[in-house]
Amino acid sequence: MSVFKWINKVSNNERSRKAWFSFVCLVFVVLIVVPSIFVILKMLTEWGVVSEVFRDSVMMSTITGALRNSFSIAGIVTVIDVAVGVPMAWMMVRKQFRGKKYLDTLMDMPLAFPTAVLGISVVMFWGAPEGISIPGLGIVVSPYVMLVLLHIIFTYPYMVRSLSAILEQIEPNYETAAMTLSASRFTAVRTITLPLFRAGLVTGTILCFARSLSETGGTFIALQMMGVGSVFFTGPTFIAYMKAEYGVDAAMGSMILISVLMIILALILLVVVKLLIMRFKIPMKRVWPDFGRFVSRGAMPKLKDTVSVIFLAVIVLIPTFYIFTYLTQPMAEIDFGSLLYSTGISFLIAGVAVVFNIVFGIPIALYIARKRHTTSGKILDSLVNVPLIIPTTALGFSLALFWGSIYAGDSIGLLMVILGHIAFTFPLVVRNITGAVEEVDVSYEEVAITLGAKPFQAFSKVLMPIIKSSIIAGAILAFTRSLGETGATVAISDSVKTVPVYIMELIKADNYPEAAFCSIILIAICFMFMFALRMIINRGDRRA
């Protein structure tokens, strides 16, 4: 209690508020921003090793091939997500139907699954990999197509969520007005709502693209199971493969090069995508009344909804849950000791990262939300997005180089992994809270202060209860994201075995049944944890 009293008292002093905020910014820059892009500096100091890679034409073609795969897969996946995400978001926001609540929950499921698990499940469903006794569809697809199918699953929820969030804020009045002016629904939506939609499209595109570009665990496992793990690469799996196969020191040059290339290309692409979507002119002037009427009436809207649902079921949900078919098999022998240890490590990392991000993310989110129009607000906003765009494997590698240059030795491996997880989940927490704070009129806090509340009380007693659900949503998002992450963990430390890393190693050892059962147990633990968390929070609610 007295701690809060002390914070209340201190928060009343403008100078101490500024000091705290400066400290938060410093922590953000030193612990998150700088380590994330340190590898670029490292490339300059290690130019010798890097230039050797340039001369090695075989290595160069592998690197460019991996980059081409990464970026083209991310591109294709994003385009598909937009195409199927728009009608789906539409349905979820504007339509009422039975079972909507369940569909809503189901859609988020892939986010709660570690991507490593998704990797196993997806390959099992589409293909019929050797060593697995469950029959899949047995469709022989190239590794490239398989990765597209896999990446759609964990990017799809991001796209639908981003689009729904914006759609919820667009009043249907505009469309209704256009329709009373005798536009068909299709024309009304295309010329009135879609242009208002861009912000959501930008967010969704960036999230999907970055997520696909970053993904390591699921991709690695899928390629491994298809038996092409050492010939077919994406950017992140290349880094993971090089590190495992040759070690950091031997592969330093190529790892630095591909990391820097991924970071720079991703940042460039981010800017280009943003500009493209904002500038892109939706054909506004022309209308095609007959076409508009054709697609707005009769069976067409129904057909569109049906296709959306079928896509969700066949491409996203069934492959996600396919791993549960293993429950029909005899239980594999499981090394419970190692599994529980890994689970403990994973929860520890995710827990610490989330708590850190909430404490340090809230001040940053408040600042961005309240001062968005100022230069410093804009700079901070862009900086927060940096770790979101950078592929996590490159980020992890960069982070390891940064802390490695300060402290040699692997004894701080766990700490470094935590710092890595803090970095890439930080934007998730901050963005969620920023969005919520922007919705809340600043006058609530102002009035509270004039009523005698200290600034910290105005936050904790007034603003906090209003935005609590967004903070929790951000925390859960960050927590699951951290639990599922493979690339950054592998790139930072060899010794820290989180669950996804443990599962990946089982797959590498061709121990599929154990990997599958471990995955199922992990998912069960995750859900129980989420459920418990929700219960605790709700109970706290009632008490207050």
* Footprint of other proteins (CB under 8 A): 12-14, 441, 443-444, 446-455, 457, 461-462, 465-466
CA dist 141 → 81, 152, 314, 490 (Å) = 20, 16, 16, 28
CB of 14 to other proteins, least distance (A): 7
- Nearer Cβ to other proteins, position 13 or 133? 13
How buried is residue 14: exposed, middle or buried, by Cβ count under 10 Å (0-12/13-18/19+)? exposed
Smallest gap from Cβ 48 to other proteins, in A, equals 52
CB of 470 to other proteins, least distance (A): 13
Q: Give all strands (DSSP E) within 44-83, no chain letters.
A: none
| One-character DSSP codes across 329-382 | SPPPP--HHHHHHHHHHHHHHHHHHHHHHHHHHHHHHHHHHHSTTSHHHHHHHH
26 token code pair: 């410093």
Query: Please, are residues 442 and 417 in contact by the beta-carbon 8 Å criterion?
Result: no
Q: Which residues contact 103 (CB under 8 A, 6 or more apart)?
A: 92, 309, 312
At closest approach, how far in Å is the CB of 464 from other proteins?
A: 10
Radius of gyration of the chain (CA): 24
Provide the CA 174 distance to its chain's centre, in angstroms: 32
- How far is residue 336 from each of residues 112, 114, 267, measured CA to CA in Å? 22, 19, 42
Q: How far is the CB of 287 from other proteins (least distance, A)?
A: 40
| CB nearer to other proteins: pick between 366 and 399 | 366
Nearest CA to 211 out of 419, 365, 28, 387 is that of 387
Contact by Cβ (8 Å): 125, 319: yes
Gap between the Cα atoms of 476 and 64, Å rounded: 36
Contact (CB, 8 A) for 155 and 212: yes
Q: Which is nearer to other proteins, 338 or 460 (CB)?
A: 460
Cβ burial of 80 (10 Å; 0-12, 13-18, 19+) is buried
What DSSP designation does 98 have? T
Residue closer to other proteins, measured from CB, 128 or 440: 440
Provide, rounded to whole angstroms, the least separation between the CB of residue 3 and other proteins.
15
Which of residues 238 and 456 has its CB atom nearest to other proteins in the complex? 456
Closer of 250 and 464 to other proteins (Cβ): 464
Judged by beta carbon, residue 1 or residue 58, the one nearer other proteins is 1
Q: Tokens 């899928």 appear where? A: 222
Q: Which is nearer to other proteins, 83 or 447 (CB)?
A: 447
Q: Tokens 């230039």 appear where?
A: 51
- 417 vs 473 by CB, closer to other proteins: 473
User: Whole-number minimum distance, CB 442 to other proteins, in Å?
Assistant: 9
Q: For the CB of residue 455, give the shortest distance to other proteins in the complex, in Å.
A: 7
Shortest gap between Cβ of 7 and other proteins (angstroms)? Answer: 13
183 phi and psi angles, rounded to 5 deg: -85, 150
For other proteins, the closer of residues 8 and 296 by Cβ is 8
CB of 521 to other proteins, least distance (A): 38
Q: Which distant-in-sequence residues (6+ apart) come within 8 Å of 313 by Cβ?
A: none
If the CB atoms of residues 16 and 176 are measured against other proteins, the closer one turns out to be 16
Q: Looking up tokens 């469709």, which residue turns up?
A: 139
CA distance 424 to 409: 23
535 phi and psi angles, rounded to 5 deg: -60, -45
CB of 438 to other proteins, least distance (A): 16
**Closer residue to other proteins, CB minimum distance, 324 or 444:** 444
Contact 39, 260 (CB under 8 A): yes
Q: How far apart are CA 277 and CA 197, in angstroms?
A: 10
Closer to other proteins by Cβ: residue 3 or 406: 3
Minimum separation from the CB atom of position 468 to other proteins (A): 9
The span from the CA of 225 to the CA of 275, in Å, is 39
Minimum distance from CB of 366 to other proteins (Å)? 16
